[in-house]
Structure 1
Amino acid sequence: MIPIRARRTGTQPPPPRRSGARAAVATAAAAVTALALASPTAPTALAAEQATGQAAGGPSAAACPTSVSGGATVPFRTYEAECASHTGSAIGPDFTQASLASEASGRQAVQLSAPGQHVEFTLAAPANSINVHYSVPDGRSGTLSVYVNGTRLASRLTLTSRHSYIDTPWITGAKTHNFYSDVRLLLGRDLGVGDRVRLQVDSGDTATPYTIDLADFEQVGAAGTRPANSVSVTDFGATPDDGGDDSNAFRQAISAARAQSREVWVPPGRFEIPTSLQLDQVTVRGAGQWYTVLHGNNVFQNSGVTGNIRLHDFAVFGDVTERNDGSPDNAYHGSFGANSVVSGLWIQNTKCGLWLMNGATSNLVVENNRILDVLADGINFDGNVRDSVIRNNYLRNTGDDALALWSNGSPNVGNSILNNTVVSSTLANGIAVYGGTNNTVSGNLVRDTNALGGGIHVANRFNATPLSGTVKLDNNVTLRAGALDPNWKFGVGALWFDGRDSAFSGVSITVTNFRAVDSPYEAIQFIDGGGTGKPMQGVTVNGASIEGTGTFAVQAQTTGTVTLNNVTATRVGVVGTYNCPFPTDRAPMVFTGSGNSGLTPTWTDCTSWPPPNSGPPTQPGTGSNAAKGRPVTASGSQGGYPPGNAVDGNADTYWESTNNAFPQTLTVDLGEPTSVNKITLKLPPSSSWGTRTQTVTIAGSTDGGGYSTIVAARGYTFDPATGNTASVSFGATSPRYVRLTFTANTGWPAGQLSELEVLRS
């Protein structure tokens, strides 16, 4: 039986800097909905085309999220819904815990609410299948129509919330999460480049609104055929697709195959495995992960095995609807012994993918697998695993650490996590190393992580055997990784180190060629999560590129000495370094090394952290922009051009109000009454934006209720020849809320703004 994991889920203890856990965190996290990722939209031709089209009055479309290369090589191509042609409503970007957009890939998605609304993907590579990552409202199920080149298929997708909306009340600070699931379909035809696949709400498709995050398109090959040296489960009474219990037939086939030194063959079809199978010294092979499905919540459960277990080319689909850490609802639970292989599996809707415990495992290879929509960990080496490798796997929508080496009671030694892709872990970390000796994490891509964790994590935590030997982190990339911790009320890093259980001692941790792109909070973090100031030693970063942060490039909250060489940081949201140890009587972190840029200045106010509802800190000063990254609302917006674009620090993205519906308002919350004396208004600097004049009234409020006029209605002219910028100065006033009311625009029948800068006096 799996031990209770409430203490191994990424849950944080009481905040080390201030008290008051379990307050609602939606407001705090909302401060980074449009937080100064301070980064431009992904520099793609599609993104540029969409922006130009909207400025000229073209169809609605959201800007495509930034993308980066790295991680696993996969047989499918992913298409983001917000980048496709659609008539739905774009949602996001959003970094608010427990919001639909925050758990989506790219922090954006498209909602289809009414008949006829659709998302249409134009293929850039051949495909004959689709897998859709979606959400429907809690408690609902229904169908969604599929069209190919304008013709509706006879088969519709069946969508359900059955495996979504997971509550984990025993994890402090966790909310309902895991909003998304996946559904797949063989299209029954080969499609080529330029063919169109549309997901559309038709009559009878009633589970609205449908939130479409993305679609994976793949050219699936023919089903595999039975190997010569095999026994088939059908020879022992297993019958595909009949809904009957096939467990006993599988057991007989496994026993016969082992006795005869043959493989177990599982032909195409769905087989029901309601009671767990035990394996040792045997191979189980399917016809392919699109063809052979083993249906059960805990298909394999092993202990006391010798090894040589080989699992190839099939899917495991569970029906786990709640996370129960007292039940082993995992696709594979237990040990593998020596020299085993797990390759080519598709695992979905179990609690965990692979959870290794109850015995020793060595020389295991886990490769080329797809793990989707599990309610806890994707793969966890729960102690006593040696010389094993996790490589080229793709994991999306895990409910805890996607990949974890947890040296629980016995160290994990000499293991490698290589070239994997992790997308949207909804709690905890993308990749975590808890204790252990001589382990390596290399060539991985981790993106869009959510609450109670970060991107890549190395720690002495959860009573793991302490870190020792050499830990290598090489050539890893994170994208939009890290989150606002709902208990601590400050950000967790894209790469973070925690000495909570014990100080880092006797271990050498080397980070080489790390890349962190658009981190919502800090990029690299050093902390003693227990709040006792255990020193951090033995960490060396040799080469890191930090490309956009919401707060700091480096955040140190404990004492010690670490080495940073050739670390460059650009587009930093606040300042380069935060160095405030806790307890406050500890010495600040000492940073040694050379060749760094963008890590200065250092945050100077260590007396307090901003209150929970203000979001990440900003370094105040005369002339600084008090609106950047702040919560913002509008009376209306055109799909794909949300109000957050007006305070994201990027003049190329913009808000556009509902068309033909003046007056329209845009309101920013500065967090507290703030003395200001100037406002700058911007439109995108592109020459494609013709000169226009907008009539705007500027008002302020201290409580969000009554507003007083700061500047009466007047026309502001935006001319691309002078940067499409207009400014107004006024006597110093101290509003918390600043509201712009648009009543006319000579260039377009809507309010438009790419940046609202409210400057401190």
Structure 2
Amino acid sequence: MHTRRSVRSMPVLAAAVVMAAGTLVALAPAPAHAAAGATVPFTSVEAESASGTGTRIGPDHTQGTLASEASGRRAVRLSPGQRVEFTVPRAANAVTVAYSVPDGQSGSLDVYVNGRKLAKTVPVTSKYSYVDTPWIPGARTHHFYDNARLLLGENVQAGDKVAFQATNVQVTVDVADFEQAAGPASQPAGSVSVTSRGADPSGQGDSTQAFRDAIAAARGGVVWIPPGEYRLTSSLNGVQDVTLRGAGHWHSVVRTSRFIDQSSSSGNVHIRDFAVIGEVTERVDSSPDNFVNGSLGPNSSVSGMWLQHLKVGLWLTGTNDNLVVENNRFLDMTADGLNLNGHARGVRVRHNFLRNQGDDALAMWSLNAPDVDSSFENNTVTQPNLANGIAIYGGTDIAVRNNLISDTNALGSGIAISNQKFLDPFHPLAGTITVDGNTLVRTGAMNPNWNHPMGALRVDSYDSAIEAQIRITNTTITDSPYSAFEFVSGSGRGYAARNVTVDGATVRDTGTVVVQAETQGAATFRNVTATGVGAAGVYNCPYPSGSGTFTLTDGGGNSGWNSTWSDCSTWPQPGQGNPDPDPGRNLARGRPATATGSQDVYSPAKAVDGDANTYWESANHAFPQALTVDLGAREAVRRLVLKLPPQSAWQARTQTLSVQGSADGSAWSTVVAAKDYRFDPAGGNTVTIALPDGTSLRHLRLQVTANTGWPAAQFSEVEAYLS
């Protein structure tokens, strides 16, 4: 589910903060917990930690950039002929590479083992990337990365070197997963092979009817999918009381964008050990382009699967009681990885790995009926590039335990516990919602609808007050770009978020605050320790004004976050505490940018994304043009650095521009009068403008009236500094 937030500003009213001894009895010491995340058969190595001749990009958490969607917010850009070389961390015979190539381009990566070139290459393409969803407020082009896998054809050992070299296209390499893939499994005795019913393992013929015939013949038993590739041209239905089993997802591959599509099933369906790889290149919400669309019925399971290039992995409606989804990989969906869409009891989703989902990676949405007694446990979620890592929209007695979530982007938190309904009839949160043992790394994002941040873990009374008991325990939050815990009514209607307990949390290096409270309600905090807090411990400014206070009760054992942000008219920026931990920080990077016009894909955000290779270009032949950046708070800006891309193709040019400033975005004054500024490749295509002493502004505007090199205003980076 994507996050439909209203476009609004955030005028706020200061509210009382109560940090006194609580009346609740202290809890007993928490029991030992399982490690967060899935048990997976591979080891990942980040490209930025490898050696090679490419260029490292990032870190960045600005929406719509290659670095911000990368694992760890960093990656390595390879021009043709450049390479990145990984030290193999474990014995392996297979590798998966997460990569991106420019839109509209394809090519390959040559592969080297200990300096020896293999005959095999890794194909790379933008076919499944650069997704646009203009019907989702705040969405921009996203989903830049894709994953390609390769059986090396030989064994490599820990310490060996595996390199990937770009041949005929620029490739940004993010991460490589090394593993020892098992050989193909043997056919189970008594099973019905799809090839015995005419399926074509070469992938040339249409095997749809053969799969249907095998399923009908094997009712109560096993359908066997031998090694090979099988092409299905339409979905399967009427699947019940049967096991579909492959020889392992490296060996048995089904090519289809719609595998099972059925509204009901008597259940006892078990799907395991093969790959389903689709051809979904755009997100069309009305199309059932999913691995499973609908119901598998009660007492079913999905395990050992590789699911890729679909809209959604499992979009589950109807009855799915006691379903188990475990040990699967979900890669490169244009929307959700899995969405449990009401009518389900006792569902267990565990030990799955999800990378590069185009919406919520894992979601429960209680539409038509509540999800009850269901859980997401020990999953690893990385790089959801539009919404949340894990989202719970309503439901009764739900658990989110021991998950590892990293690198959320744009409209999402690491975990969202929400009463956002999207449609009716919706069943709000009820009973006890358990959020325990989760680790969140670099989660939370700037919401482009609000120009306002979202926390790593969000409790959101979007469409109705939260009456359930929300129990958040044993949480680790590291490197959140903004806040750690957020309490909000995302619709802006001020519904209360009550009955929340946060017990046992470690917060490290949060960009702004530990607690971001923006609606009425109450929460008790116990044993929450914080280090490296960017601005203040608490931001407590409920919206709308006068809607009521949010009460924070100190249950004891808290440390490192006892200060409060005092100015509810502005949102604290990362590192805005006293003293500023990074006085050389570029104040404009990642901030909301707007313009009087832009040309094609060269949007205003490209001028503040930290990447000098991307740029904003205004509407052509339409001077004057202006670019405006909201710094988020009034700053004593002393210096601007303006850049154009450094490539030799960008020849020298002169732009005529003035610098304007504003405290509120409406009343503007001229800071530096119009003047000619020359951008010359010999000087790095960079211009520095000193601002007068005493300059204080929140909104920065560059007004361009001429450009000798192109009939438009152009900037690849606009940087603002305090010194």
Per-residue deviation, 1:609:
3.1
Per-residue deviation, 1:508:
0.7
SS at match of 1:155: strand
Partner of 1:466: 428
Q: Could you list the runs of 4 or more consecutive aligned residues of structure 1 that deviate by over 6 angstroms after TM superposition?
A: 620-625, 668-673, 704-708
Partner of 2:223: 264
8 Å Cα contact 2:203-2:228 kept in structure 1: no
Per-residue deviation, 1:453:
1.0
8 Å Cα contact 1:673-1:702 kept in structure 2: no
Aligned counterparts of 1:466 and 1:628: Cα–Cα separation in 2: 43
Per-residue deviation, 1:143:
1.4
C-alpha distance 514-376 of structure 1, shift in aligned 2 (>3 A): same
Aligned counterparts of 1:676 and 1:425: Cα–Cα separation in 2: 35
Matched, 1:388 2:353: no
Aligned counterparts of 2:145 and 2:673: Cα–Cα separation in 1: 34
How big is each residue's C-alpha offset from its partner over 1:283-319, in whole Å with a ceiling of 9 and x where there is no partner?
A: 0000001010111001111222110000010000000
Partner of 2:452: 490
Pairwise CA RMSD of aligned residues? 3.0
Q: How does 1:508-527 map to 2 (within 5 A)?
A: 508-527=469-488
Amino acid at match of 1:370: R
C-alpha distance 622-362 of structure 1, shift in aligned 2 (>3 A): closer
Aligned counterparts of 2:631 and 2:523: Cα–Cα separation in 1: 36
Q: How does 1:218-297 map to 2 (within 5 A)?
A: 218-258=179-219, 261-278=220-237, 279-297=239-257
8 Å Cα contact 1:702-1:735 kept in structure 2: no
Aligned counterparts of 2:452 and 2:184: Cα–Cα separation in 1: 50
Partner of 2:381: 422
Partner of 1:712: none
Per-residue deviation, 1:530:
1.4
How big is each residue's C-alpha offset from its partner over 1:707-732, in whole Å with a ceiling of 9 and x where there is no partner?
A: 99xxxxxxxxxxxxxxxxxxxxxx96
Per-residue deviation, 1:597:
1.5
8 Å Cα contact 2:221-2:241 kept in structure 1: no
Q: How does 1:290-305 map to 2 (within 5 A)?
A: 290-305=250-265
SS at match of 1:217: strand
8 Å Cα contact 1:91-1:101 kept in structure 2: yes
How big is each residue's C-alpha offset from its partner over 1:527-552, in whole Å with a ceiling of 9 and x where there is no partner?
A: 01111211111110111111111111
Partner of 1:360: 319
How big is each residue's C-alpha offset from its partner over 1:680-721, in whole Å with a ceiling of 9 and x where there is no partner?
A: xxxxxxxxxxxxxxxxxxxxx95598799xxxxxxxxxxxxx
Amino acid at match of 1:263: V
Partner of 1:13: 6
Amino acid at match of 1:228: A
8 Å Cα contact 2:635-2:722 kept in structure 1: no
TM-score by length of 2: 0.79
Aligned counterparts of 1:523 and 1:703: Cα–Cα separation in 2: 39
Name which of 83, 88, 93 aligns with 2:49.
83
Partner of 2:609: none
Partner of 1:188: 153
C-alpha distance 518-703 of structure 1, shift in aligned 2 (>3 A): farther
How big is each residue's C-alpha offset from its partner over 1:512-565, in whole Å with a ceiling of 9 and x where there is no partner?
A: 111100000111000011112111111101111111111111000001111111
Gaps of 5+ in 1: 1-7, 20-67, 634-667, 679-700, 709-730, 738-755
% identical aligned pairs: 48
8 Å Cα contact 2:471-2:501 kept in structure 1: yes
Aligned counterparts of 1:705 and 1:621: Cα–Cα separation in 2: 35
SS at match of 2:497: coil
SS at match of 1:540: strand
How big is each residue's C-alpha offset from its partner over 1:431-480, in whole Å with a ceiling of 9 and x where there is no partner?
A: 01100000100000000000111100001012431110011001000000
Aligned counterparts of 2:291 and 2:351: Cα–Cα separation in 1: 19
How big is each residue's C-alpha offset from its partner over 1:85-140, in whole Å with a ceiling of 9 and x where there is no partner?
A: 1100111001110100100000000011132x100011121000111100011111
Aligned counterparts of 1:670 and 1:494: Cα–Cα separation in 2: 22
Amino acid at match of 1:557: E
Partner of 1:532: 493
Aligned counterparts of 2:78 and 2:148: Cα–Cα separation in 1: 17
Q: How does 1:141-220 map to 2 (within 5 A)?
A: 141-201=106-166, 205-206=167-168, 208-220=169-181
Q: How does 1:3-42 map to 2 (within 5 A)?
A: 8-15=1-8, 17=10
Aligned counterparts of 1:466 and 1:314: Cα–Cα separation in 2: 36
8 Å Cα contact 2:248-2:274 kept in structure 1: yes
TM-score by length of 1: 0.75
Segment drifting more, 615-624 vs 168-177: 615-624
Q: How does 1:535-554 map to 2 (within 5 A)?
A: 535-554=496-515
Partner of 1:569: 530
Aligned counterparts of 2:129 and 2:579: Cα–Cα separation in 1: 47
Matched, 1:93 2:59: yes
C-alpha distance 555-135 of structure 1, shift in aligned 2 (>3 A): same
Matched, 1:408 2:367: yes
Amino acid at match of 1:388: V
8 Å Cα contact 1:625-1:758 kept in structure 2: no
C-alpha distance 704-166 of structure 1, shift in aligned 2 (>3 A): farther
8 Å Cα contact 2:512-2:576 kept in structure 1: no
Segment drifting more, 594-603 vs 220-229: 594-603
Partner of 2:539: 578
Per-residue deviation, 1:603:
1.1
